[in-house]
Structure formats: C-alpha cells, structure tokens
Amino acid sequence: MSLEKIIAIAGKPGLFKLITQTRAGFVAESLMDKKRLSVNVQQNVSVLSEIAIYTLTEEVPLKEVFLKIKEKENGQQTSVSPKDSKDKLEEFFFDVLPDYDEDRVYVSDIKKVVQWYNLLQENNFFDTLEAGSADNTGEEE
C-alpha cells in the first residue's frame, strides 16, 4: 500500500483508504473504524502522496516526513499527542524537520501530521511503505 491510496477528506476525521471508483466518485474505507463511505467528486479530498511540508529551501514530501518521524520514534507512536501544547508540538516537529518554514507550517498542520502518522502506524502502514521503498532502490542499482 502506498500513499497514493490514502486520502484525507475535508470535514471527516482521520484518513481513508481508496477501495474502488464509482461513476460519481469513489468508495473509501476509514482507517479508524473500517466503515466504508461513498465520496462524490464535489468533496474536497487530498491524496497524501501529493502533500508536502514547506521548509526554508524546498518542499519535503509527506512520505519523507513520516519516515523521519518513524526513525525518531523507533517505529512507535509519537511521543507527543496532537492535543499537546503549541510549544511541545513545534519542538517535536523541529526535531523531525529542523528547517521547516515556521511561517507557512501552522500548528494545525503539525497536529494533522502527528495524528496521521499515529493512525498509519496503528495500521502497520510503515512496514509496507518501507518495503516499497526498498524495492524501488533495489531496481535503481
């Protein structure tokens, strides 16, 4: 499973896995409670593979940010909660991505990244993500 199949839907909590396409949109399954819902094309949907975090020099893909968090936390849940204080969240994110752009990356963005990471980690997503990365690097050699 890759980030191309994982989406965030505006107004809906958590993340969703794309199941199938329909005439009017698609069917998605919640990673939190495994409930399925129909999503139409008018709803605001973000594919995680298309999201990047601003740094002072470039935009870092969300996949790389997740892998840095995984490395920092030794593959476990984050040491901070999305409900922690602004200072604690910013300090955590600074450890993960030291050159993130503090003017363009808001605390609400950091909360989402932490929440999404924890949700994906609960669902053993990073095992398959790294396996996919290892396969890709093996082909380039």
Which strand ranges, in their side-by-side order, compose the sheet holding 6-9?
36-40, 25-30, 16-22, 6-9, 45-47
| CA-CA-CA-CA torsion sign (116, 32, 50, 133) | positive
Give the whole-angstrom CA distance, residue 140 versus residue 33.
38
Residue 3: φ, ψ to 5°: -70, -15
Q: Token pair of 113, please? A: 């990244």
pLDDT tens digits, 42-93: 899 999 999 999 999 999 999 999 999 999 999 899 999 999 999 999 999 9
From 79-83, 93-97, 127-131, the region with the lowest mean pLDDT: 127-131
- 């199938």: which residue's tokens? 20
pTM: 0.86
Residue tagged 């980690």 (tokens): 121
pLDDT mean across residues, the chain:
89
Domains and CATH numbers, the chain: 3-48 (2.30.30), 51-140 (1.10.10.1650)
Residue 135: which pLDDT band, with cuts at 50, 70 and 90? very low
Distance, CA of 53 to CA of 97 (rounded, Å)? 9
